[in-house]
């Protein structure tokens, strides 16, 4: 066998054939081990097996155009490395995000790729050696037999072209077979898994590049006439606010708290710790969730895609979806016109600020926030003192973050519209001995073990922050909006998680993966006593109109794609960027349909239309329309052609975040007696000393009893 390999390597096409065969088999192995592509039956399995062949022959065949034989073989080694790097990059990306890398992610989303590099070693598995051993084998063959390459004549150009044509013919056959099983695969695809499953990961990458170029041309060709279908959609889907609740929080401060990687299953979850005690994972959030002053939602889902945290912010501040590919923050944020919550509330006399203990350029926030109308951005460059002891990979630890933010919060003129972005509960959920506060029995997955510890820590940080808000006097005049941004535990880990949720790992399936995408949403209005747990179905796109209506803001002239979660008129259709849809009755995941209440799969005969199949089609079409309208708005920058009533556009040139603390102080001095900040009301006396934290990095502190803080309010 080795003799045959030796002889083949010396042959003009033998080295190419060995490379094609090895990479083809490696790709198929990766399909089986790393990706959940929903392959069903022998036919789809056959398509999965053959789909790497065409692209592999094509790309490796490009090496034949080098006239010099050594250069030809050397270029083949380079092509082999690049294709392996692309495959392995997708493996790591999919392992954490259950998705494939897009061109926009590679070229534009340095934040996402930076996040991957930060947790690179955490994601590696022993089997990853399988994806590189063949490359080193190819390098070994090249190095050993390169002297013999010089004796071989160059390949004729027409022969090289014939190889590429054969690759295209193989692809055409592959596509034809795929179209039999999935008609209009390339024209109606909304799930990247389908492209990879039927045509391969390299074809998907090329397809994604074409789609990206097409999207970039949309903005250049857009004009005001493109806004007509958008306005029609918004008018048809606008829901009147709950009359009894409209304006309930009018004039109050607004504090958004961005709960990094929080999922709804954490609420009321109790686990047995290693010492045998059974304790709640999130005791403070549980109390807040069940408070009569909280509108708490049990069926709200995150709707983020590749933009993850930045997608969540886009949804929350604009009631628009993130892009299907990459992050809107990094691709469009600096240039697009937005009608975001901060700028809307500025028209009502609000000061706007964001607090984040990380660098301002992460997710391009320092540019995108200007487009959204935030007056101040307090980031690690200007406002926080980060050290190796008080920070994690993504910024300042939550307890220190809230404590250090108070010096700026107390100076904000009231009413203010603010957002706190936490980071401690972020993948890979590292074990931090100083802050290890929740010990559960070890699972086989250290990521899951660490998750419950960092979640518990984040819950304690929230309790400390709320205690300060009460002590300082800000609590009673503030509406708090707490929301999870996206999943913390990826789908690839859910089977390990299942027993901790009293579910079966064996029975866990796609339906369960969809249901754990619920995130906490708690709108806390102190003193309202009209709250309760709402079972309405919704997503992050619905939060902004809900908040604005509670603040007494008429949104009927604004372009927002969500619907008030407290309105009786809402449709309760939850759209996801991957094409899945959830409603109170049905859950559509790819071609499969489930009963949302029971999780039972529902059989729908595509060849026999019925009332049920029509209802499912309507559900899917409604979700796709909402996503399409959002894409039209963002890709075409259509909001530049429309200004709602009582709204003033952002002057980005007038906003600078280079030194937000100093600029805030200067603005307060200019206000003089009109200073409405907390410090201004306290005769310039700071309230920072009222903040108590048991963070071990903060010297001299006594541990804070965070249990039953909300009980003080009800007594």
309: nearest Cα among 426, 391, 455, 393: 426
Q: Does 302 count as an annotated binding residue? A: no
Q: Where are the alpha helices (DSSP H) in 98-200?
A: 103-108, 110-118, 120-123, 130-149, 157-181, 192-199
Q: Does 311 count as an annotated binding residue? A: no
Residue 76, beta-bridge partner list = none
pLDDT at 434 over 80: no
**Residue 693, both tokens:** 């934290």
pLDDT at residue number 582: 98
Q: pLDDT band at residue 5, thresholds of 50, 70 and 90?
A: low
Cα–Cα distance, 197 to 195 (Å, whole number): 6
* Residues 688 and 405: beta-carbon distance below 8 Å: no
Higher local confidence (pLDDT), 385 or 284:
284
pLDDT at residue number 104: 66
Q: pLDDT band at residue 256, thresholds of 50, 70 and 90?
A: very high
**Out of 309, 447, 687, 706, which one is annotated catalytic?**
309
pLDDT at residue number 523: 98
What are the b/e assignments for 417-433, b being 16+ CB within 10 Å? Answer: bbbbbbbbbbbbbbebe
Report the 3 state secondary structure along 613-648: HHHHHHHHHHHHHHHHHHHHHHHHCHHHHCCCCCCC
Cα–Cα distance, 383 to 400 (Å, whole number): 12
In the β-sheet with 521-524, what is the strand arrangement from edge to edge? Answer: 376-378, 351-356, 416-421, 253-259, 478-484, 521-524, 294-301, 532-539
**Residue 266, both tokens:** 């954490």
Instruction: Identify the structural domains of the chain with CATH numbers, from first to last.
Output: 2-218 (no CATH), 228-374+409-690 (3.40.720.10)
Q: Can you give the length of the chain in residues? A: 715
Q: Helix, strand, coil shares of the chain as percentages rounded to 5?
A: 50, 10, 40
What are the b/e assignments for 126-165, b being 16+ CB within 10 Å? Answer: eeeeebeebbeebeebbeebeeebeeeebbeeeebeebbe
Q: Does 404 count as an annotated binding residue? A: no
Residue 56 annotated to the active site:
no
Give the dihedral sign, CA 406/411/416/418.
negative
pLDDT at 146 over 50: yes
Q: What is the pLDDT of residues 293-324, one digit of tens each?
A: 999 999 999 999 988 999 999 999 999 999 98
Q: pLDDT band at residue 417, thresholds of 50, 70 and 90?
A: very high
pLDDT at 616 over 60: yes
Least confident of 117-126, 133-142, 184-193, 215-224: 184-193
Rg (CA), the chain: 28
* Residues 375 and 408: beta-carbon distance below 8 Å: no
pLDDT at residue number 714: 40
Q: Does 605 count as an annotated binding residue? A: no
* Residues 542 and 563: beta-carbon distance below 8 Å: yes
Cα–Cα distance, 383 to 258 (Å, whole number): 19
Q: Does 486 count as an annotated binding residue? A: yes
Report the 3 state secondary structure along 243-262: CCCCCCCCCCEEEEEEECCC
Mean pLDDT confidence for 488-514: 93
**Residue 284, both tokens:** 């403070």
Q: Where are the alpha helices (DSSP H) in 485-530?
A: 494-497, 510-515
19: preceding bond cis by omega (within 30 degrees): no
556: nearest Cα among 315, 226, 246, 225: 246
pLDDT at residue number 671: 86
Phi then psi dihedrals of residue 296, to 5 deg = -110, 140
Cα–Cα distance, 457 to 435 (Å, whole number): 7
């Amino acid at each position: 066998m080795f003799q045959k390999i030796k002889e083949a390597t010396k042959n003009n096409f033998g080295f190419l054939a060995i490379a094609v065969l090895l990479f083809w088999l490696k790709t198929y192995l990766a399909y089986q081990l790393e990706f959940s592509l929903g392959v069903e039956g022998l036919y789809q399995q056959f398509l999965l097996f053959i789909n790497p062949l065409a692209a592999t022959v094509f790309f490796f065949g490009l090496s034949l155009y080098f006239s010099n034989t050594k250069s030809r073989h050397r270029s083949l080694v380079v092509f082999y490395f690049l294709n392996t790097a692309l495959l392995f990059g997708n493996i790591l990306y999919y392992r954490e995000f259950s998705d494939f890398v897009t061109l926009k992610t590679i070229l534009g989303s340095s934040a996402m790729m930076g996040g991957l590099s930060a947790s690179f070693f955490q994601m590696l598995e022993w089997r990853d050696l399988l994806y590189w051993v063949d490359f080193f084998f190819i390098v070994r063959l090249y190095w050993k037999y390169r002297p013999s390459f010089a004796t071989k004549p160059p390949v004729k150009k027409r022969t090289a072209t014939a190889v590429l044509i054969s690759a295209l013919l193989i692809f055409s056959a592959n596509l034809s077979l795929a179209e039999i099983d999935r008609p209009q695969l390339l024209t109606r695809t909304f799930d990247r898994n389908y492209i990879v499953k039927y045509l391969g990961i390299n074809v998907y990458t090329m397809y994604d590049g074409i789609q990206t170029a097409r999207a970039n041309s949309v903005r250049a060709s857009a004009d005001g006439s493109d806004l007509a279908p958008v306005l029609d959609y918004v008018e048809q889907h606008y829901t009147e606010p709950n009359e009894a609740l409209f304006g309930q929080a009018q004039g109050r401060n607004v504090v958004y708290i961005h709960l990094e990687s929080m999922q709804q299953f954490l609420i009321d979850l109790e686990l047995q710790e290693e010492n045998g005690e059974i304790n709640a994972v999130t005791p403070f959030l549980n109390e807040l969730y069940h408070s009569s002053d909280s509108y708490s939602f049990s069926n709200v889902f995150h709707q983020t895609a590749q933009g993850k945290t930045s997608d969540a912010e886009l949804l929350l501040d604009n009631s628009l979806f993130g892009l299907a590919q990459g992050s809107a923050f990094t691709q469009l944020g600096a240039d697009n016109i937005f009608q975001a919550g901060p700028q809307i509330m500025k028209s009502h006399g609000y000061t706007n600020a964001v607090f984040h203990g990380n660098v301002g350029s992460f997710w391009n926030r320092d540019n995108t926030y200007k487009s959204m109308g935030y007056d101040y951005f307090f980031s690690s460059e200007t406002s926080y003192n980060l050290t190796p002891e008080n920070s994690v990979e993504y910024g300042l630890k939550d307890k220190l973050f809230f404590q250090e933010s108070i010096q700026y919060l107390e100076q904000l003129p009231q009413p203010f519209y603010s957002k706190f972005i936490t980071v401690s509960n972020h993948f890979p959920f590292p074990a931090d001995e100083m802050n290890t506060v929740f010990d559960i029995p070890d699972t086989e997955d250290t990521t899951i073990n660490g998750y419950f510890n960092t979640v518990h820590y984040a819950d304690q940080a929230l309790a400390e922050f709320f205690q300060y808000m009460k002590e300082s006097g800000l609590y009673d005049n503030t509406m708090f909006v707490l929301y999870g941004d996206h999943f913390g535990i990826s789908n690839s880990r859910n089977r390990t998680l299942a027993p901790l949720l009293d579910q079966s790992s064996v029975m866990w399936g796609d339906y369960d993966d969809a249901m754990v995408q619920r995130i906490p949403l708690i709108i806390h209005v102190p003193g309202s006593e009209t709250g309760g747990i709402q079972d309405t179905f919704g997503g992050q796109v619905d939060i902004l109109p809900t908040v604005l209506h509670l603040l007494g803001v008429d949104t009927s002239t604004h372009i927002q794609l969500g619907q008030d979660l407290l309105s009786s008129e809402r449709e309760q259709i939850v759209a996801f960027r991957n094409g899945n849809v959830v409603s109170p009755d049905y859950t559509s995941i790819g071609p499969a349909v489930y009963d949302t209440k029971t999780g039972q799969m529902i059989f729908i005969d595509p060849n026999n239309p019925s009332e049920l199949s029509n209802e499912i089609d309507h559900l899917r079409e409604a979700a796709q329309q909402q996503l399409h309208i959002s894409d039209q708005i963002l890709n075409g920058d259509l909001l530049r052609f429309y200004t709602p009533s009582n709204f003033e556009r952002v002057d980005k040139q007038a906003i600078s975040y280079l030194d937000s603390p100093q600029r805030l102080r200067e603005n307060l001095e200019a206000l003089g007696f009109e200073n409405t900040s907390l410090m201004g009301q306290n005769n310039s006396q700071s309230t920072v000393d009222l903040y108590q934290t048991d963070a071990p990095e903060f010297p001299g502190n006594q541990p804070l009893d965070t249990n039953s803080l909300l009980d003080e309010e009800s007594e």
